[in-house]
Amino acid sequence: MTSILIIYTGGTIGMVESEDRRTLVPFDLEHVLVQVPELNKLEVNLRSVSFPEPIDSSDMHPKHWVKMAEIIEEHYHEVDGFVILHGSDTLAYTASALSFMLKGLHKPVIITGSQLPIGMIRTDARENLITAVEIASLQTGGIPQVQEVAVYFESKLYRGNRTSKFSTEAFEAFDSPNYPVLAEAGVHLNFNHEDLYRTTEPEFSVHKGYSNKVLVVTLFPGISERVMEAILLQEESRAVILRTFGSGNAPTDPRFLTLLKAYIERGNIVLNVSQCQKGGIEQGRYATSRRLQEMGVLSGGDMTFEAAVTKTMILLGLSQDVHWISDQLVTNIRGELSVN
C-alpha cells in the first residue's frame, strides 16, 4: 500500500459558504476529507498536513512555496508521493516554482484544486482530489509512474511548469499550450509515458532561495516612454520579463532600445517571452527582434509566463553570477523549455 501526504494550503477546494451564504470562507482539511469518503476505497495510506491558516491563492507568496518545499523535504523519505491542494488562481505559479525548487525529484508532486467548493452539489473538487491521489499512488515495480511536479484538473494531468490557467468559469480551467498532456482520466487512466519527465539527478534536494527583484513589462502599442524609464532606470530590480508581440517582436524606437541596452549593461537580465500562449520566441526572425538579440536580451523560447517568472526568481536566489543565471534561463532544466 502506497503512502501519500496531502498538503492543504487553502483555496476554493476547501471553502464553504459563510453563515449568511454571501461569501466563501476557508475551512480545514478534516472538512475536505469528510466530504470525500471515496478516498477510503483507494488502497492508499493517506496522511495530511495543513497550513496553520489556509490562504487564498491570491495571497500566495514565495515564502509559501518555501513552506511547501520544506514539508516535502521533511517527509520525502517517509511517503511515496504528495498531493497539494491549492487555489486555482496562482496554482500555475506554484507548480512552476516547485518544479525549479525540487531538484532530483523521483516522486510525484500532484497539485490540484477546484472551481467550486467541495461541499457544493456540482463541485469538481471530489473528482480532482480522488484522481490526483490515485495518480500520485500509481507505481510500476515499486517505481512511481509520475516523478515530477504536475497539475491535475478536470480529467487531465499537465506538467506543472507548462501549465497556465485560461478560464475562470470552465471546470477545465487549465491548459498546457506548448506541451502534451501527461495523462487523461476516463474509464482508464491513460498515460503518455514518452512525455513524462525523468531527472538525471540522483539525489533529492531543495532550493529554498529566491529573489523577488523581478519586474514584468507587457508591451502594447503606444506604451509611454516615461513608464519604460520608470521601470528600466530604477536600481532595485535584477531582471525584467519582457512580454513582447508574436514571436518576440518589440518596438524599434531608439529610446526604448537604449533603455533596454543600458539596463543590461548595468549587469541585469532581460528575458523575452511572448504574449501569445501558443508557440514561442524566435529572436532574430524579424528585424524588430534582431536588435533585442544583438544587445543581449535572452530568449524565453516557449516557456509559459508563469515558468519564466518563477524560474527567474529561483535562479536569482541561487547565484549572483549573471552569466550563470543567463545560461540556466535559456537551458531546459526541468522540462519547461522545448529543445529545438
User: What are residue 274's DSSP bridge partners?
Assistant: 244
Are residues 229 and 285 located together in one domain of the fold?
yes
Could you give the 3-state DSSP secondary structure of residue 276?
coil
Judged by average pLDDT, the poorest of 43-52, 67-76, 191-200 is 43-52
Query: Percent of the chain at pLDDT above 90?
Result: 71
* pLDDT 10s digits, 252-286: 899 999 999 999 999 999 999 999 999 999 887 87
pLDDT value at residue 107: 98
pLDDT greater at residue 20 or residue 238: 238
pLDDT value at residue 24: 63
CA dihedral for 28, 107, 57, 40, sign (positive or negative) = negative
Single out the residue in 206, 235, 251 at which a domain terminates: 206
pLDDT value at residue 22: 66
Report, as an integer, the average pLDDT of 297-303: 96
pTM: 0.93
* pLDDT 10s digits, 73-85: 999 999 999 999 9
Are residues 74 and 202 located together in one domain of the fold?
yes
Cβ 316 vs Cβ 210: under 8 Å: yes
Are residues 51 and 200 located together in one domain of the fold?
yes
Distance of CA 225 to the CA centre of its chain: 32
Q: Residue 27 pLDDT more than 70?
A: no
* pLDDT 10s digits, 137-163: 999 999 999 999 999 998 999 999 999
Tell me, yes or no, whether 334 lies in a domain. Answer: no
Are residues 130 and 188 located together in one domain of the fold?
yes
Single out the residue in 173, 206, 239 at which a domain terminates: 206
Are residues 176 and 270 located together in one domain of the fold?
no
Q: Residue 20 pLDDT more than 70?
A: no
Are residues 47 and 171 located together in one domain of the fold?
yes
Active-site residue 12, yes or no? yes
Are residues 52 and 171 located together in one domain of the fold?
yes
DSSP code string of 215-241? EEEE--TT--HHHHHHHHS-SS-SEEE
Q: Which domain holds residue 261?
A: 214-329
Among the options 9, 12, 90, 312, which is catalytic? Answer: 12
